[in-house]
């Protein structure tokens, strides 16, 4: 009954204009963004000052970016009024709807389920690299991970890390090599924490593909990695938001949890971890903001799943978690703690910085992509309630990073990356990751 009451309250509140500005009200029908123009606005006086200046403009938040920039998608009928304000800005998308179309359709996937019971060699079930030519629906990602498992069934298991707000399983896979599972330090990766960051899903699946195909082919480097570490990979940790981004609103970021008496739905799952949660300037307490932190630390169903599963992984291995990554887009940045306490440095700071320096150099050697690196507070801004701080401090990981993939900037496309760039993004980062794993 409480849930129904909250949903009813949220639906009623959605009809009321937001007081702070003419943000377009949350919409549950398909958001096409046709004719919407995206501007990245300089905000030297802070985001709130910009919101006040565009109070009479119809817009949708795209990204709060940093304390001194703010990106909005302006409705076609308001573009001239926005431009007349004379705010310093960069045009990111002339027509956001048209650019979204350039990503291509979600391509169907023919699962190998029907052939699993045949007499074929297990390796015959390994999906082909053509998977990385397009984006795919959530259900196909689940099938893809299952197919990877069945191609590597003697050295892998499917895992469920918990449940989402809407009751979906949070799927993942656990890989290991010689010596059996849970006998070595853990490598632990999350992706698609922010629903619209589709390139992260594809990239970590490419890493899985390379690990499994390499081991099956007796590749010496890959075999050594799987013999040295157990890999836990959760490609879509925000399934509700991911599905919403595919079916309704391409730029959806948060989970799909409503709050009582609020028009806006969703919590930023990377501001909700129960560590350094209540930090001034590190997240938003506005339920309509992209970086909304929730009402209290860890108060989302997903976070209950994340923390429990993270602690389970850490305790299952004698040497705990060696290397955690929360994969994100965009920006070409390798981030390390801390985001919730800008006065702190990790204990192995010099080592992490050197590893990041060399990793970014290797990535750049592939196709020229230049990555920045360093603590969140130094490279970006304070970001409280984040995964890195929790996994490093509470779960005891040796290294815990956030890794921002392509493109390099909002002006280069932001969250909307054409499918033709999936493979190149995955390949250059795999080269860096593979080297890094040999150095841990």
Contact 40, 90 (CB under 8 A): yes
- Nearest residue to 305 via CA among 255, 253, 231: 255
Catalytic residue among 40, 103, 197, 404: 404
DSSP 153: G
**Is 404 part of the annotated catalytic residue set?**
yes
Q: Give strand pairing partners of 236.
A: none
Output b/e per residue, 109-148; b: 16+ Cβ within 10 A: bebbeeeeeeeeeeeebbbeeebbebbbbbebbbbbbbbb
Q: Kindly list the strands in the beta sheet with 59-66, ordered across the sheet, starting from the edge strand earlier in the chain.
A: 59-66, 69-74, 37-42, 89-93
Dist. CA 60–CA 310, nearest whole Å = 34
- Nearest residue to 201 via CA among 251, 131, 248, 97: 131
- Nearest residue to 64 via CA among 333, 274, 290: 290
DSSP 176: -
What is the DSSP annotation of 283-327? SB--TTSTTB--SSTT-SHHHHHHHHHHHHHHHHSTT-EEEEEEE
| Integer angstrom CA distances of residue 249 from 27, 92, 147, 245 | 8, 18, 29, 5
* Pairing of β 372-375 and β 333-336: parallel
Contact 231, 440 (CB under 8 A): no
Dist. CA 158–CA 148, nearest whole Å = 10
| Integer angstrom CA distances of residue 382 from 4, 65, 199, 280, 284 | 36, 12, 24, 9, 12
Helix, strand or coil for residue 62? strand
Dist. CA 190–CA 292, nearest whole Å = 20
Helix, strand or coil for residue 63? strand
Residues known to be catalytic? 404
């Amino acid at each position: 009954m409480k849930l129904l009451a909250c949903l009813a309250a949220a639906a009623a509140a959605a009809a009321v204009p937001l007081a702070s500005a003419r943000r377009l009200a949350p919409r549950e029908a398909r958001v096409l963004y046709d004719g919407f123009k995206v501007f990245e606005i300089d905000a030297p006086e802070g985001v709130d000052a910009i919101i006040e200046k565009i109070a009479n403009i119809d817009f949708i938040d795209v990204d709060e970016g940093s304390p001194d920039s703010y990106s909005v998608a302006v409705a076609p009928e308001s573009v001239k009024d926005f431009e007349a304000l004379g705010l310093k800005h960069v045009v990111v998308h002339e027509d956001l709807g048209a650019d979204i179309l350039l990503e291509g359709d979600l391509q169907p996937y023919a699962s190998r389920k029907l052939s699993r019971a045949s007499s074929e060699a297990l390796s015959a079930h390994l999906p082909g690299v053509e998977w990385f030519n397009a984006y795919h629906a959530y259900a196909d990602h689940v099938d893809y991970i299952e197919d990877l498992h069945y191609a590597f069934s003697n050295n892998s298991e499917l895992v469920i890390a918990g449940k989402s707000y809407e009751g979906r399983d949070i799927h993942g896979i656990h890989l290991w090599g010689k010596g059996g599972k849970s006998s070595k330090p853990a490598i632990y990766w999350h992706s698609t924490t922010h629903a619209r960051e589709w390139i992260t899903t594809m990239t970590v699946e490419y890493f899985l593909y390379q690990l499994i195909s390499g081991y099956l082919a007796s590749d010496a480097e890959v075999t050594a990695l799987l013999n040295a570490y157990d890999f836990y990979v959760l490609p879509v940790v925000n399934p509700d938001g991911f599905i919403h981004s595919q079916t309704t609103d391409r730029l959806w970021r948060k989970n799909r949890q409503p709050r009582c008496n609020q028009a806006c739905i969703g919590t930023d799952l990377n501001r909700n971890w129960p560590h350094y949660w209540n930090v001034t300037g590190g997240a938003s307490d506005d339920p309509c903001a992209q970086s909304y932190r929730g009402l209290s630390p860890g108060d989302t169903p997903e976070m209950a799943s994340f923390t429990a599963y993270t602690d389970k992984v850490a305790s299952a291995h004698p040497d705990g978690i060696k290397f955690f990554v929360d994969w994100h887009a965009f920006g070409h940045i390798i981030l390390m703690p801390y985001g919730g306490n800008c006065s702190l440095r990790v204990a192995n700071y010099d080592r992490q910085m050197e590893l990041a320096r060399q990793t970014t150099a290797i990535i750049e050697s592939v196709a020229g992509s230049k990555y920045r690196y360093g603590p969140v507070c130094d490279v970006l801004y304070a970001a409280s309630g984040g995964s890195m701080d929790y996994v490093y401090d509470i779960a005891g990981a040796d290294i815990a990073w956030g890794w921002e993939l392509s493109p390099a900037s909002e002006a280069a496309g932001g969250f909307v990356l054409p499918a033709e760039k999936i493979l190149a993004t995955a390949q250059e980062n795999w080269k860096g990751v593979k080297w890094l794993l040999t150095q841990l």
